[in-house]
Amino acid sequence: MAEKRQITVATGDGIGPEIMEATLHILEQAGAKIEPEFIDVGEKVYLTGNSTGIPQEAWDSLRRTKVLLKAPITTPQGGGYKSLNVTIRTAMGLYANVRPCVSYHPVIENKHPDMDLVIVRENEEDLYSGIEHQQTPDVVQSLKLISRPGSERIIRHAFEYARQNNRKKVSCLVKDNIMKLSDGLFHQVFKEIAAEYPDIESNSYIVDIGMARIADSPEEFDVIVTLNLYGDIASDIAAQIAGSVGLAGSANIGDEIAMFEAIHGSAPDIAGKGIANPSGLLHGAIMMLVHIGQPEAAEKIHNAWLKTIEDGMLTGDMAKGKEAVGTKEFAHAVVERLGQSPSTLEPVTYSKEPMEEAEKNIRPNYIPERELDGTDVFLFNNTLTIDEIAEKLERAAGSNHEFVMMTNRGVKVYPNGFSETFLSDHWRCRFQPVEGVKETQTEIRELLTRIESEDLDWIKIENLYRFDGKIAYSLAQGQ
């Protein structure tokens, strides 16, 4: 018999221990070659004063086994406790969150009988980098960071996932009609990578209409790949309309380490009663088996599970008033059906080919030419009029810079603004070099000194660049 693969297992809080016991029992009976190494994380650890909920031994185990199967944990009430999920995700570089959302109609009542989609959400970038500042009394900002390598990695992961799981289409959700650079980059990379997968159909939606269609006609979708924030929202919409919060599993995948879990929480209201549904965690475990190269066991368990629910063996949350079975009984029913397939519901197959590494960059050694093209200076002002600020900035521009325009919350107010525009205390003022002058950082520093001499309060600058000669900053209307 092949050697067993060590995995780290956290039994969690609330219903965690019950559903983990049921899940591990099914895995063992199905012949999964795994050797659990149990760790304590969560409520108990938080309450010892560890604000992350994760002790050193847990990190050590995870680094050794590279795979974590985690039951839900309870985050204690009150401030100061960090989300354990976010800590593991960010510290271990788990860049892809993969969440299948499937309808099991007619076994489980559902408004979208043909829904069977998977959301692949970018997990590290976007507005979740958490770089936020307040610089004026009126205005705060949150930086949205999108990288080319980060986008390549998640999009390639989505296409590889599609191939591995016999899926036919990958859809991209972006808002690049508004965020032309950030969402535009993600969309551009999507088109480049889609071209490498001619066997898989691809399309894109503007995120607002895309979300509306997920809510209305989820059967139109197969695999969805999107940025962190949109993915967060889309996965909750999809899980909700699948009507299966107790059923869905999720994977968080990194280059080295991966974590698998149920999407639901620790359900303290039913903990210890023996009635919790182990299916969400079991689905997480099935994804784990595929990830560690045991697709045969994954397929066997998944089909036995489908047959179980098809035969009407349902825990209370699925039975919705009909006769229900407990956690242990449900697990035994799945074990009894190992080797069988469903007849009404569609059986699943998992590819036996290993998934390709998502690391391959499109342009590994290519560094575009970068050229400084001016600067945007941001000012705090709540006393002067537009014309008074402009007069000072025209003077500060000196002979090497042109004061090109000024916007307030992105709306151009100078030259030729509208009197109706709402004005906050936060102004973006664009300076570019005059014909024949090369922009330098020294020129920009001197410009800032002149702005200070005009008694203007600059709060930050953003330099303007061209990459390979192409403008790489947003233009104001009319510019």
Nearer to ligand NAD, 317 or 443 (CB): 317
Question: Considering the rule CB under 6 A, would residue 75 count as an interface residue with ligand NAD?
Answer: yes
For residues 117 and 224, is the Cβ–Cβ distance under 8 A? Answer: yes
For the record, the structure tokens of 235 come out as 């996965």
Question: Considering the rule CB under 6 A, would residue 52 count as an interface residue with ligand NAD?
Answer: no
Question: Considering the rule CB under 6 A, would residue 244 count as an interface residue with ligand NAD?
Answer: no
What does the DSSP assignment read for 3-70? PPEEEEEE--STTHHHHHHHHHHHHHHTT--EEEEEE--SHHHHTTT-TTS--HHHHHHHHHH-EEEE
Contacts to ligand NAD from residues 299-358, by CB under 6 A: 317
Binds ligand NAD (CB under 6 A): choice among 246, 254, 284, 295: 246
Question: Considering the rule CB under 6 A, would residue 269 count as an interface residue with ligand NAD?
Answer: yes
For the CA atoms of 383, 452, 412, 380, the dihedral, rounded to the nearest 10 degrees, stands at: -50
**CB of residue 77 vs ligand NAD: minimum separation in angstroms?**
8
Question: Considering the rule CB under 6 A, would residue 266 count as an interface residue with ligand NAD?
Answer: yes
Residue with tokens 């005059």: 434
Q: What is the pattern of x (binds ligand NAD, CB under 6 A) and - over residues 9-28?
A: ------x---x---------
Binds ligand NAD (CB under 6 A): choice among 23, 52, 85, 171: 85
Neighbours of 425 (CB within 10 A): 16
Binds ligand NAD (CB under 6 A): choice among 172, 270, 298, 444: 270
Count of positions on this chain that bind ligand NAD (CB under 6 A)? 21
Stretch that binds ligand NAD, among 111-119, 137-145, 262-270, 471-479 (CB under 6 A): 262-270
Amino acid at 47: L
For residues 250 and 69, is the Cβ–Cβ distance under 8 A? Answer: no
Phi, psi (rounded to 5 degrees) for 87: -60, -45
Contacts to ligand NAD from residues 91-130, by CB under 6 A: none
Residue 90 burial (CB < 10 Å; 0-12/13-18/19+)? middle
Stretch that binds ligand NAD, among 23-31, 112-120, 274-282, 374-382 (CB under 6 A): 274-282
Return the percent helix, strand and coil in the chain, to nearest 5: 35, 25, 45
Nearer to ligand NAD, 124 or 160 (CB): 124
Site residues for ligand NAD per CB under 6 A: 15, 19, 72-75, 85, 245-246, 261, 264-270, 276-277, 280, 317
